[in-house]
Chain A
């Protein structure tokens, strides 16, 4: 039976899978290729782009976005997402800045991370235990956390005056690489390991891919959900700390539109909104892409507004590709039923 001629029939060579496999590979390569094109284009079009200072700044701003983007990718793989990351980022930045006036940097950082973790866990609990829809809950939290940030600062800016060495988190170098870049790489490695090489990550993907199958397989959906949202909260806090180190003066109006940015880099990087898998490498490339475009536009003195516009258009573009791809897969699977 195993080697009967029927089994070797071309029909069994899954034309569908070849096409979709091509699409997947094309995606990972695609963002990278796009990135290369944009970098080359930027170097040509924007004089001063390819300088050491500018490249470093671009890498730094990409890292800040990428860190939370990686967390968001994890959440999307599980089939949910978090609209409150912008508010969490700004609140943790403020927490870090405030704590720095009384304690040493390491403690301040830990405090900020804890704050992010708590907020993320809160999201997770509301979503799983109370069975509330993810986006509305995080939408509400976005507002609450922003409000708390405003209340804590009373509309004033918080300047980091003590411990000016905190700025090294942004300006310093480890092994020749900017610290933010190193942080991003560490986060990438950790999250990659979690997503692909631990039961926790596989369970998260299972929940996003086929929730019923996950439940029947005995996976504790609630616990995994809470943990993933906690993770997103921590990554938002990391980027908040990085932000406060970069600016050294924070206020509650920062970080608006950050959630849009993170979702854009996730989807652009190849992670599908339908859940089940997360493309972490793609997310990093997409973050670099976004930062490159922003940097080039800055050099060309294009006002920030057009960048804003570009971000919106880019998101819609990335999402339509995602939905087109999903439609293509369902259609080709059906016709081969």
Chain B
């Protein structure tokens, strides 16, 4: 267990052989092993079940279970009898009711996960790691998964279950290891702990003294953005809030809380099935990115490498892409080098972007500076409402402080900003208020006085705040 950033996923990746540790050893059954890759880990008996299943959708359940090690007859043909009987054995063990000849593509997410587990079982793995297995499951499927984990335990298979969901851990686990800041806090038997103990272990730390950036700014009375009962099918249900000019509203929540999808919907990338969005009091329909930009909304995507940066383009081009609408005016077909350079220099100064020149390839910049360019792009779009996702992901400490300061300054100069982040100290640094989402619904809206790491984490996990913090 551990909150976001505690190192859970990294640890799992190391154990699965996908990442290499810089020091320390891994021992399996008392013998040290070196895991050069996923296949070595499998040879040693470690199997990992991740969110992206290693299943081939067009193949059947039975074929997937035996992929890569199919039993054959003397003629080289697949030995269907053996495949069917062995697969049936495994599925029976798990109590899985799925027909063997069914294509995996037609299975629900929960069933696919079980097929993965069946695959692991059939390979006689000794250790199965599961990384946030219940993120996409419904209640019935979760119950079924726990049943299966019980069976696995009875088969003397060790299960390493990574999660941030307290109630699940308490249902299924025998021992719990809590990670914090990449270190192991403690490993205890569950019987000795209460839920509160675990939460304290996850959170309780001396808050690193980050330079207190926050200074209260006058916030306008009128709401520039009003969201009422917004529902994005599959991700967000009935979320409402108001956003004012001069305000920075944080948006907190764990994996699967709908944080990112909320901003995507407001930017026109996801469909809103019900609810209203008002800008300056007027009802609007945001059906596409262009519609959102025309209304003055701009979004910074979560993963800049995948969704934000154009690796072949220069710094200046990355900054100014989208600043001119295509074919808007005939006179603006060509790029005016001087104008653009001025714009670039202006942005460079105000955000302190460190690049050797405007013509440098963006990939040569450090992560922090790339993020600043992304922020600059948002600013160039002339939108009053900014939706910033993970603004300091992959950014070094110094630049992080600069970006936070920039966010506060922007609010002061007349922007309305939503910062959606998994980084709680970041939210504490910049937010005037903080919306906390859990499983797609609003769990709480904290005002400045109540914004604290404990409160945000407690709400994000799904608990209620006890007492007055």
Contact = CB atoms under 8 A, between A and B. Distances in A.
State the majority secondary structure of interface residues on A.
helix
Contact of A217 (B68, B140, B234): B68
A212 B57 CA distance: 12
B107 A14 contact: yes
Interface stretch (B70-78, B394-402, B454-462): B70-78
B147 A1 contact: yes
A20 interface: yes
A214 interface: yes
Contact of A276 (B57, B69, B144): B57
Given A9-B140, A193-B77, A218 B106 contact: no
Interface in A190-240: 193, 197-199, 202-203, 205-206, 208-210, 212-214, 216-219
Contacts of A216: 38-39, 54
A278 to B, nearest CB: 10
A156 interface: no
Interface in A1-45: 1-2, 4, 6-7, 9, 12, 14, 16-17, 20-21
A337 interface: yes
Given A1-B95, A214-B56, A276-B56, A202 B63 contact: yes
B139 interface: yes
B56 A199 contact: no
A335 interface: yes
Contact of A213 (B54, B76, B95): B54
Contacts of A199: 70, 72, 78
B67 A213 contact: yes
A322 to B, nearest CB: 14
B98 to A, nearest CB: 10
Interface in B35-53: 38-39, 42, 52-53
B303 interface: no
Contacts of A4: 140, 143
Contacts of A198: 72, 76-78
A197 B95 CA distance: 27
B58 interface: yes
B95 A21 contact: no
B255 interface: no
A146 interface: no
A202 B78 contact: yes
A305 to B, nearest CB: 38
B108 A218 contact: no
A213 B56 contact: yes
B100 interface: no
Contacts of B53: 213
A2 B69 CA distance: 30
B185 interface: no
Nearest to B233: A335
Contact of A209 (B58, B68, B76, B234): B58
Nearest to B52: A212
Given A7-B144, A20-B106, A217-B68, A210 B57 contact: yes
A217 B67 contact: yes
Contact of A12 (B55, B108, B233): B108
B109 interface: yes
B336 interface: no
B100 to A, nearest CB: 14
A277 B108 CA distance: 20
A124 to B, nearest CB: 20
Contacts of B26: none
A277 B107 CA distance: 17
**Which of B56, B67, B76 is packed against the most chain A CB atoms within 10 Å?**
B56
Contacts of B143: 1, 4, 6
B54 A209 contact: no
Nearest to B76: A198
Contact of A2 (B68, B80, B97, B109): B97
A216 B143 CA distance: 29
Nearest to A6: B140
A337 B234 contact: yes
A293 to B, nearest CB: 30
Interface string B79-101: 01000000000000001010000
Contacts of B56: 205-206, 209-210, 213-214, 276
Contacts of A7: 140, 144
B78 A197 contact: yes
B172 interface: no
B124 to A, nearest CB: 15
Interface in A268-290: 275-277
A138 B105 CA distance: 31
A125 to B, nearest CB: 23
Interface of B: 38-39, 42, 52-59, 63, 67-70, 72, 76-78, 80, 95, 97, 105-109, 136, 138-140, 143-144, 147, 233-234
25 contacts: A1-B143, A1-B144, A1-B147, A2-B97, A6-B143, A7-B140, A12-B140, A14-B106, A16-B106, A17-B107, A21-B106, A197-B80, A198-B72, A198-B76, A198-B77, A199-B78, A202-B78, A205-B59, A206-B56, A206-B67, A210-B56, A216-B38, A218-B69, A219-B67, A337-B109
User: 10 closest A-B pairs (Cβ-Cβ)?
Assistant: A276-B58, A17-B106, A6-B140, A217-B68, A209-B56, A213-B54, A218-B68, A217-B67, A277-B58, A209-B58
